[in-house]
Structure 1
Amino acid sequence: MIMLRRNSASDETLPRDLIGPQRMPVDTHMTDCVKSANMSNSNSTRYYNKRKNDIKIATWNVQGLNEPGKLENVVNEIKHLEADICGISETWLCGSSEFNTELPNGEKFRIIYSGGEIRRKGVAFVLNQRVSNLVKSVHIKSERMMAIKINTSPVDTFLIQVYAPTRDSDDEEKNKFYEDLRDIIKYKSFQEVLVVMGDFNAKV
């Protein structure tokens, strides 16, 4: 989980969620909230103000969004994790575009995605309503890579979401991936914060 500081252009807040291997950060965060509730009123106010200006970033390989109900489940999990921005891999969505989705309770999320011609691979960013208007630019590279620039303080942040080839992929595909990564980084200005995240298909 990555924490960034956003520009306080809006006071709107929206709760956020994630399961599986990401369950531990949820438990840890909830423990911190309980501790905060037991603090003095002044300390609780400082905690709230810090959360209001922070941006929590996560990444997740969702292994497809095509099954009925899968997108809603993923968004619910991102909400539960309280991630403001979640980069996801293996969306299995075709083409490149964006759309909004709304949970039954009225909470809205913005999905920006990049996919190929077939329903494999694919990357995306899911942003909650609290930060969706902080996106300054979108950069689509391939079904394995995309980036967004977000308005943060004291400098902007350039987020790259990737889905890397596996170790068994041919050298040409691996080389293209790293060439694309070098190319997309060129859209980042010198002073901006760079975050590269996603599924690197690494084996330890």
Structure 2
Amino acid sequence: MKDGSQTQQETDTQIVNILHPKEVCRVGCWNVRTLYQTGKLAQVLKEMDRYDIQMLGICETRRTGNGTRKLATGHQILYLGRSDEQHSSDVGLILNRKLGKCMLGWNPYNDRLLSTRFHSKFAKLTVIVCYSPTEDKEEEKNSFYEELQRAVEETPVHDVLIIRGDLNAKIGTNNEGKESIMGKHGCDVINNNGSRLVDFCLENKLLEAPSSSTKTSINKHGLHQMVTHKIKLTMYRLIKGGELEVKNRFTILKDEQELSIEQFNTALVEAGKKTLGLKKKKKEELISSKTWEMVELRCKTKKKILTAKSARL
């Protein structure tokens, strides 16, 4: 982490894995409008427990200063606000007890952006929480995306990267030429913030998560709703030499004018046999487990007879 970040010792971290192939982590994001009201934080924690959310990015907390705080419920909150004592914008991150032990450190960039890094045995996880300016604030948007780009570039290359937040963006439903980063389930017609977000994702090869909108969605009453996703680490076994072997097999056949389906299948089968080998059949046991139990019982019975004390004749 860079200057201003909290270190592993400061956050009292214990080595616990956040990403695991056999476990699912539920993460969320919510524009809470404010935490600068009595009882509002308790309401947010109750919703986290209700939806079984382990990590919740929050926007518009309207707190001042920055720091971490352990709550009586076992949750840990990271908050980042303005330094001029104005209660506006601001972002934060709430972790449950387990994920609080996974945290390696966090970096507050500004009142709209923070980055947090978590430990995992297979791959470290970096989570960026952000809150984009609205459509009419052009200069602030330029500064925001510059800082967001810096946060992405400072993320270690091999980390799993998740960006959560209210980006005030509508990306639309037209994904022509953008199939690698988005589907066709966007919201309304694309706006300026949406165009910036799409360009940002294309530049950094990021995938926009499928949801009703790229921001915390707003219902018909104008209230911000929580957006949640499940994440799980998927492991793939890499077999070295397989691709090269298949290429070599087809190189032998390149002089053929037409490649028949039989030649194609034969090349794949031969490459598979050489690279993966043949599956070995498991030898059947000649003596069943029931027979072994009877043998064991016989041995015990014989031992009792040999050790028994008999009366003298």
Q: TM-score, normalised by structure 1?
A: 0.70
Q: 1:131 aligned to 2:104?
A: no
Q: 1:95 aligned to 2:27?
A: no
Match of 1:187 in 2: 154
Question: Where do residues 25-64 of structure 1 align in structure 2 (5 Å cutoff)?
Answer: 50=22, 53-64=23-34
Displacement of 1:184: 1.2
2:49 maps to which of 79, 91, 94: 79
Is residue 146–residue 162 contact of structure 1 (8 Å, CA) maintained in 2? Answer: yes
CA shift digits 1:122-167 (9 cap, x unpaired)? 1001001021010111011111110100113420111000100111
Superposition misfits of 4+ residues, deviation over 3 angstroms: none
Higher relative contact order at CA 8 Å, sep ≥6: structure 1 or structure 2?
A: 1
Displacement of 1:55: 2.1
SS of equivalent residue, structure 1 residue 120: coil
Match of 1:178 in 2: 145
Q: For 1:71 and 1:101, how far apart are their aligned partners in 2?
A: 10
Alignment: residue pair count: 153
Is residue 60–residue 89 contact of structure 2 (8 Å, CA) maintained in 1? Answer: yes
Q: 1:160 aligned to 2:128?
A: yes
Q: For 2:58 and 2:31, how far apart are their aligned partners in 1?
A: 6
Is residue 16–residue 102 contact of structure 2 (8 Å, CA) maintained in 1? Answer: no
Displacement of 1:175: 0.5
Q: For 2:161 and 2:105, how far apart are their aligned partners in 1?
A: 14
What one-letter code is carried by the residue in structure 2 that aligns with 1:61? Answer: N
What one-letter code is carried by the residue in structure 2 that aligns with 1:191? Answer: H
Question: Where do residues 1-40 of structure 1 align in structure 2 (5 Å cutoff)?
Answer: none
Is residue 34–residue 60 contact of structure 2 (8 Å, CA) maintained in 1? Answer: yes
Match of 1:115 in 2: 81
Q: Per the alignment, do residues 156 and 60 of structure 1 end up closer, same or farther by CA in structure 2, a change over 3 Å counting?
A: same
Displacement of 1:10: 5.2
SS of equivalent residue, structure 1 residue 168: coil
Q: For 2:129 and 2:16, how far apart are their aligned partners in 1?
A: 25
Is residue 87–residue 161 contact of structure 1 (8 Å, CA) maintained in 2? Answer: yes
Question: Where do residues 131-150 of structure 1 align in structure 2 (5 Å cutoff)?
Answer: 131-150=99-118
Displacement of 1:182: 1.1
Is residue 16–residue 119 contact of structure 2 (8 Å, CA) maintained in 1? Answer: no
- What is the identity percentage for the equivalent residue pairs of Structure 1 and Structure 2? 28
Q: For 2:165 and 2:121, how far apart are their aligned partners in 1?
A: 23
Q: For 2:31 and 2:121, how far apart are their aligned partners in 1?
A: 28
Is residue 139–residue 184 contact of structure 1 (8 Å, CA) maintained in 2? Answer: no
Displacement of 1:54: 2.9
Is residue 87–residue 125 contact of structure 1 (8 Å, CA) maintained in 2? Answer: yes
Match of 1:15 in 2: none
2:35 maps to which of 65, 81, 100: 65
